[in-house]
């Protein structure tokens, strides 16, 4: 299956893209998608504890299952205001 990953702020700079399509085996979770990104951009690994994931625009967790066409956003620490 193929999922879309949205990146912002520092994680986007580290990966070098704001949007990526990632191919994953069926049954993959948000955490699996993150590990696939770490293989492309090892610098992401250290940031995982500070990144929240959002699936289809809602905060979720790394165990959340993805499906073909899912949109996963990596949300680094927020800094509005």
Partner 1 sequence: MAERSPDALTREPIEVGHLTSGLAGAADGAIATFVGVVRDNQDGRAVQRLEYEAHEPMAEAQVAQLVSNATRRWGLSAVRLRHRLGSIGIGEVSVFIGVASPHRAEALEACRWLIDTLKAEVPIFKKEYYVDGGTSWVEEGTGDAGPG
Site residues (CB under 8 A) for partner 1, limited to 55-74: 56-58, 73
Chain centroid to CA 47: how far?
11
Verify binding: residue 9, partner 1, rule CB under 8 A: yes
Q: What is the Cα–Cα distance from 75 to 81, expressed in whole angstroms?
A: 16
Cα–Cα dist 31/20, whole Å: 16
Tell me if 6 contacts partner 1 by CB under 8 A. Answer: yes
Provide the minimum distance between the beta carbon of 48 and partner 1 in the complex, in angstroms, as a whole number: 13
Q: Which residues bind partner 1 (CB under 8 A)?
A: 6, 8-10, 13, 50, 54, 56-58, 73, 75-81
């Amino acid at each position: 299956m193929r999922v879309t990953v949205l990146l912002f702020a520092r994680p986007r700079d580290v990966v070098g893209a704001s949007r990526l399509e990632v191919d994953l085996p069926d049954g993959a979770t948000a955490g699996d998608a993150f590990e696939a990104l770490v293989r492309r951009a090892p610098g992401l690994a250290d940031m995982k504890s500070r990144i929240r994931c959002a699936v289809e625009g809602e905060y979720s967790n790394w165990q959340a299952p993805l499906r073909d066409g899912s949109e996963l956003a990596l949300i680094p620490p927020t800094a509005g205001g």
